[in-house]
Chain A
Amino acid sequence: MRQPTPSPSACEVCPAHHPANLKRLGVNMDRYDFVVALAGNPNTGKSTLFNSLTGLRQHTGNWPGKTVTRAEGGFAYQGSHYKLVDLPGAYSLLSTSTDEEIARDFILFGQPDVTVIVVDATRLERNLNLVCQVLEITGRAVVCLNLMDEAERHRLTVDERSLARELGVPVAPAAARQGRGIPLLIDMIHQVATGELVCKPHRIQSEPPALKRAVSLLVDKLRAAFPGLPNARWVALRLLEGDARIEEAVRSGELAELARAPEAAGTAAPAEGAG
């Protein structure tokens, strides 16, 4: 897979150069190195982003709930092949509606190498609810701060560096409809996928003390039953709430599969094609 690398010119080294390296693969995904999930609130532009990354033309529309099934497509970047999965929009991963369950199950059990959380910059606070929930499940995430053009129109500014620091994952500002910010986003996906960039995801902090104690007790039990489980905290929270799907995953041992995920090791993932 390693390509012969002639001494790179200054331009090629520059992170801004990469757009030319993007190869849209459409639905040709015979082999792929990484799986990338697209999550986010409804109507934040996930499908638009999906289309501009894969070159496919999934139907997009300006109304929430348009994507009801999972769409899949592929792209290649710097020699690595990526499978991109467009999930239905969800406001939360804690409720029980079908589309939110599809999104939740894929992020948890599908174990994408990178989860891109698409965020509407003009409705940041509400969108951050979902971001915080996803970050409880997986730290291998990139936030795409989409609809920056509309934020500008509404005279809003978002300090994306502070946001990245608060969330502990990279943040890429974008305006997917205009194709702005896509190269930076791809580069961040690549860095997280290859393990060049290790995230320190934000954890929910404002829980009441009684809950904190219960969670830490349960996390210990979970760690004993499933050594190396990457999102024990989140699983513990779900169990405390009596989530039947998660209880089933504990009982059947399906959760043990997650424990074997490369994420457990912190970095891992094949470095194939990187650099």
Chain B
Amino acid sequence: MSPANTREDVLEAAANLRWEVGPNLHDSLMEALYTDAARISDRVLGRDDARPAFDLDRTIDRLVTSRWLGFPIMMLLMAVVLWVTITGANVPSSLLSSLFLETLHPALKQAAAAAGLAWWLDGLLIDGMFLAMAWVVSVMLPPMAIFFPLFTLLEDFGYLPRVAFNLDRWFKKAGAHGKQALTMAMGYGCNAAGVVATRVIDSPRERLIATLTNNFSLCNGRWPTQILIATIFIGSLAPPALAGLVSAGAVMAVVLLGVACTFLVSWGLSRTLLKGEASAFSLELPPYRPPRILQTIYTSLIDRTLIVLWRAVMFSVPAGAAIWLVSNIHLGGASLAEHLIQGMNPFGLLIGLNGVILLAYIIAIPANEIVIPTVLMLTVVSAGLSGVGEGAGVMFEFDSASATLGVLEADGWTLLTGINLMLFSLLHNPCSTTLYTIWKETGSARWTAASALLPIAMGFLVCFCVAQAFRWLGG
């Protein structure tokens, strides 16, 4: 007999024997496994039966997963993390920007002048690339260095599965998988990571829902935008003592809106394009483990903060060059940037944004992190402000939030623009890295396109409605 025949012989024997064994093979095998496992564990396990009257793990679980306290505790923890991030990031941010922009930038300019660099080379390298990088570092590093370790501490402690437990009922109602809570939480760090994490979901239908909605979790590239805009437009409405709390509240509201969008879109998808029942699963609530604080801070600084920052810097350098170029290449009396901004302004204003913001989002497709620096730089070009910053296409830093507000207001920004920018930052296409990840994970250009177009359509719609309501109310 040939080897292939013997092999078929084996399969045939298996098929015949299967009848003999009967249909309960899986069950009886599982039973045998459980019996053996129980027998062995009985033999080797000793238990001190004098159990303490107070079980800390159970008590915490009863609180954080309780019907009434579960959600408030979740929101409170999130708000505290945001508040600590917002208030804590101010001081180091201004220190960094004064180092980069008031010390290093003039020094570089002088060195370039001494070396006799051509004006355009000097502008491209120092005013474009260097300043874009400096801006990204000083805006992003402090909030990330506070936010990531705090988030990782919660993760290390074992809180995330409790969040999944709390949200499970809602995901089930939306026709989605309960583990989507975990991928959503990962998305708060980075959407690309969140999309990869959807692999924990077995059903392709539910996994696709989780992938398409991951963008509704604000990622680290968008936290700084939210925090800055909330601080200068909404926090400034409150008395100084409460400004931090009010800003954190505003960011919290955007986060909750994102969660609401996740449920809404999941529900919509599972009723239309991705029909099906939510599948059951078991999720273990792991024991609470005392977080290893120093180790967590160290690893989250190295692994998340610096890696994410490095990515932002890599993207900011070419973007800085692009910004400087569009602001300094002139066509018929006006710079390229002015033409583009003017072209997009009517549509932008219609939906309560403006041409500057739309152009900034186009330039910032590679990385959301550079949206705010781009917005500010283009604003100066568009408003034709003089005496602010260094000239066309030069990124700059303001000493205080109120100075930033002043410049933005000079270009016609209102409270509505601020609110809509926060909304648009939540609801727009994912960055190119995330899109690439979605394409790799789903293997489908159609779903990738859907995941880009769906949020941006929602963003336009929501911003338009908010603008109409705001104007109608006489804002």
A residues near B (Cβ < 8 Å) are 42-43, 57, 59-65, 68-69, 94, 97-99, 122, 124-126, 128-129, 131-133, 150, 155-160, 162-163, 166-167, 177, 202, 204-208, 210-211, 214, 217-218, 221-222, 224-225, 236-237, 239-242, 247, 250-251, 253, 256
Contacts and interface: CB of A to CB of B under 8 A. Distances in A.
B44 interface: yes
B46 A158 contact: yes
Given A156-B46, A221-B9, A177 B292 contact: yes
Contacts of B33: 129, 132-133, 204
Interface string B11-43: 101100110111001101111111111101101
B284 to A, nearest CB: 5
Given A132-B36, A225-B7, A239-B11, A64 B161 contact: yes
Given A64-B286, A221-B10, A240-B17, A128 B40 contact: yes
A251 B283 CA distance: 37
Interface of B: 3-4, 6-11, 13-14, 17-18, 20-22, 25-26, 28-38, 40-41, 43-48, 50-51, 152, 155-158, 160-161, 164, 179, 182, 196-197, 199-200, 202, 283-284, 286-287, 289, 292, 299, 302-303
B284 A64 contact: yes
A207 B30 contact: no
Task: List 5 tightest A-B contacts by C-beta distance, closest first.
Answer: A155-B48, A128-B37, A157-B46, A239-B14, A68-B199
A61 B28 contact: no
Contact of B160 (A61, A128, A132): A61
5 contacts: A62-B286, A64-B284, A158-B44, A206-B32, A236-B14
A57 B303 CA distance: 8
B160 A62 contact: yes
Interface centre among B33, B158, B287 (most CB of A within 10 A): B33
Nearest to A151: B45
A225 B48 contact: no
Contacts of A205: 32, 36
Given A61-B160, A221-B9, A221-B13, A156 B40 contact: no
B62 to A, nearest CB: 18
B45 A225 contact: no
Given A63-B160, A125-B45, 14 more contacts: A62-B157, A62-B158, A62-B289, A63-B155, A64-B284, A98-B202, A128-B40, A204-B32, A204-B33, A214-B21, A218-B17, A225-B3, A251-B8, A251-B11
B304 to A, nearest CB: 8
Interface centre among A159, A247, A250, A253 (most CB of B within 10 A): A250
Contacts of A236: 14
B145 to A, nearest CB: 17
B13 A218 contact: yes
A43 B4 CA distance: 42
Secondary structure dominating the interface of B: helix
Contacts, number: 172
A160 B48 CA distance: 17
B50 A155 contact: yes
A206 B4 CA distance: 34
Contacts of A247: 11, 14
Contacts of B202: 97-98
Nearest to B21: A214
Contacts of A125: 37-38, 41, 45
Contacts of B51: 155
B150 to A, nearest CB: 14
Interface centre among B9, B10, B160, B299 (most CB of A within 10 A): B10
Contacts of A166: 40, 43-44
Given A214-B20, A218-B10, A208 B28 contact: yes
A69 B32 CA distance: 31
A253 B286 contact: no
A63 B158 contact: yes
B41 A124 contact: yes
Given A125-B38, A155-B51, A225-B3, A65 B200 contact: yes
Contacts of A167: 40
A152 to B, nearest CB: 10
Nearest to A235: B10
Given A57-B302, A225-B3, A129 B34 contact: yes
A24 to B, nearest CB: 15
Nearest to B158: A62
A157 to B, nearest CB: 4
B10 A206 contact: no
Nearest to B296: A60
A62 B21 contact: no
